Amino acid sequence: MKILIYGAGVLGSYAAHELKRVGHEVTILVRGKRYEALKEKGLVIRHWLQRKTTVDKINVVKELLPEDQYDVTFIVMQSSQVNAILPAISANVNCPLFIFVGNEDKAKEISEKIKNISTSNPRMLFGFLSIGGRREDGKVISIHTKHPDFDIGDLDGKNDYKTIIEAIFKATMFKIKFHTNMDDFLKTHIAFIMPLAYLAYMSNCDLRKMAGNKKALNATIDSIIEGCDVLVKLGYKIDPESSLNFLKNYKRVFYFGLKICVATPVGRLAISDHCKSAFNEMEYLDKALLEWTKKSKLPTPNINKLREYLIKYVITMKYQT
């Protein structure tokens, strides 16, 4: 299949590598220095857990034109950047399927915007790829399991897309998980990851400092529970429901898992590196979570206290730049 990956960060790069590996014709849309690096050196990924480096020669373009034709386009960008590219996506008349991949808090709004201005009525799906890492010296440092999860679904409970998704990912290493309402999954994910981001900013993005801070780790866990309670109050479903049940019923086990995570390079690569390089996205998602908490009118003392560290970090970074 002919596939476009819109964005060449950690997620987009790994998706491009894996889809190309199984024979798809993959093109990456990227601009600036990253475009030049990919043209000159190829797509270089250091697979951290697997202790190997791959280099792929890959097609690179700088824009999506109205007449460009792809079987599927994956939009793999920070949520705060998505609105800026919606006109280009809506103007395209030859791509039948767009899949937005990442921390998207406004999936329904994005879907409606495209429906209102697009003349081709493309199919839209939303997904999330469970890998972490960072970009460094022209290459991607990727932390992922042998079979990373790729969660995907639409917003209306339809399953007409399963055949094409199974065809796209056939023979890849991805573990595909279909969801009835991807908006529930994405909001649940934000409720889980934002307290982890707060913890990273508390440590100035050096999570190892938090390994012995029992109070901070417990406050992080309580913040996750508060965020999920907010979503339930607003009428959303926790997806997967088992994640919150496990957290509430086995809080001590979750505590020690979190403690181990922040004490090892896994926490740095999977959490703090992303928070450090994408603080604008974390600020954007924090505002979404704050909006939900205010709307729910539930008390969220742990979230309120921990998010102050994000605010301080963002102010400092913006002042420095």
β partners of residue 72: 3
Domain positions in the chain? 2-180, 184-320
- What CATH number was assigned to the domain covering residues 184-320? 1.10.1040
Q: Would you say 44 and 193 are in contact if contact means Cβ atoms under 8 Å apart?
A: no
The Cα 56–Cα 142 span in angstroms is 15
DSSP one-letter string for 148-187: -EEEEE-SSS--TTHHHHHHHHTTSS-EEEEES-HHHHHH
Residue 269: per-residue pLDDT: 85
With CA atoms as reference, report the closest residue to 229 among 283, 282, 183, 293: 293
The predicted model gives 141-154 an average pLDDT of 95
Q: Is the pTM for the entire model greater than 0.75?
A: yes
DSSP one-letter string for 204-218: TS-GGGGTT-HHHHH
Residue 2 has pLDDT above 90, yes or no: yes
Mean of per-residue pLDDT scores for the chain: 95
- Using 50, 70 and 90 to split pLDDT, how confident is the model at 194? very high
pLDDT tens figures, 31-50: 989 999 999 999 999 999 99
Percent share of the chain, pLDDT over 70: 100
| Options 3.30.70.100, 3.90.740.10, 3.40.50.1820, 3.40.50.720; CATH of 2-180 | 3.40.50.720
- Using 50, 70 and 90 to split pLDDT, how confident is the model at 27? very high
pLDDT tens figures, 43-89: 999 999 999 999 999 999 999 999 999 999 999 998 889 999 999 99
Residue 209 has pLDDT above 70, yes or no: yes
- Using 50, 70 and 90 to split pLDDT, how confident is the model at 183? very high
Residue 321: per-residue pLDDT: 62
pLDDT tens figures, 254-284: 999 999 999 998 898 889 988 998 899 999 9
Residue 320 has pLDDT above 80, yes or no: no
pLDDT tens figures, 102-121: 999 999 999 999 999 998 99
Residue 225: per-residue pLDDT: 97
The Cα 228–Cα 177 span in angstroms is 21
With CA atoms as reference, report the closest residue to 262 among 212, 310, 227: 212
- Using 50, 70 and 90 to split pLDDT, how confident is the model at 96? very high
With CA atoms as reference, report the closest residue to 271 among 210, 200, 189: 200
Higher pLDDT, 274 or 91: 91
pLDDT tens figures, 215-248: 999 999 999 999 999 999 999 999 999 999 999 9
